């Protein structure tokens, strides 16, 4: 994740240094990719977000106006209207509040969007498309030297796995990402070896107490 975001953050300066157009869009892309990961949203959900979907969470005033995101165009069942859900900002992802604040206050106005409601805007004052979001991911992925098989949806996989590693109950994670069934959430989950070893150590200490030594 860090390599991906470092590559995305480096693109605007490199584009400017080459005398090419697109530095402003690269700033947008970096912010959008971080938002996708920080809220675990799908590409279409992200594309359809509006400024009004950024919400405060009265229980978490430290996050200001970025305490939650209202997803109004979630993936629906066949023949059903889009599902709605509120994705709360979790403390482990609180860095996204600075990212969104910079985007909304400093960068987005430079696109001169007028009254356009979209959160993620294009240079022609349109709504950023799901395809453009995926292209932004691929550009950062390639520059970071990551596996070319990775796509934007991998950020959602990472979000789910990391929430589990942070200790959030599976039901909470399921509600955050808008899955109808917990089994679907479980499919997305792939915790790290470090996390699993930490759980094993905690279990051994609980069973054997102070006499258990990790080096034994």
Q: Which residues are catalytic?
A: 42, 75, 153, 156, 179, 188
- Give 133's contacts (C-beta < 8 A, 6+ positions apart): 32, 33, 36, 43, 46, 47, 120, 152
The single residue listed with the structure tokens 């229980």 is 59
* Strand (E) or helix (H) holding 73: strand 68-74
* 5 burial type by CB count under 10 A (0-12 exposed, 13-18 middle, 19+ buried): middle
What does the alpha-carbon distance between residue 22 and residue 173 come to, in Å, rounded to a whole number? Answer: 36
């Amino acid at each position: 994740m860090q390599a991906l975001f470092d590559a995305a953050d480096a693109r605007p300066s490199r584009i400017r240094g080459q005398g090419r157009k697109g530095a402003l869009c690269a700033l947008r892309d970096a912010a959008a990719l971080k938002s996708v990961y920080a809220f675990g949203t799908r590409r279409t959900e992200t594309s359809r977000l509006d400024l009004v979907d950024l919400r405060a969470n009265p229980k978490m005033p430290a996050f200001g106006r970025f305490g939650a995101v209202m997803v109004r165009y979630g993936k629906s069942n066949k023949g059903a209207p889009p599902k709605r859900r509120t994705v709360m900002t979790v403390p482990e992802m609180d860095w996204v509040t600075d990212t969104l604040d910079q985007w909304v206050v400093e960068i987005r106005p430079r696109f001169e969007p007028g009254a356009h409601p979209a959160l993620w805007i294009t240079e022609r004052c349109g709504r950023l498309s799901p395809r453009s979001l995926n292209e932004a991911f691929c550009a950062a992925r390639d520059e970071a030297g990551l596996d070319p098989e990775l796509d934007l949806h991998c950020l959602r996989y990472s979000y789910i796995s990391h929430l589990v590693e942070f200790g959030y109950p599976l039901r909470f994670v399921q509600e955050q990402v808008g899955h109808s069934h917990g089994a679907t959430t479980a499919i997305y989950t792939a915790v790290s070896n470090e996390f699993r070893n930490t759980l094993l150590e905690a279990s051994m200490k609980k069973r054997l107490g102070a006499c258990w030594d990790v080096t034994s």
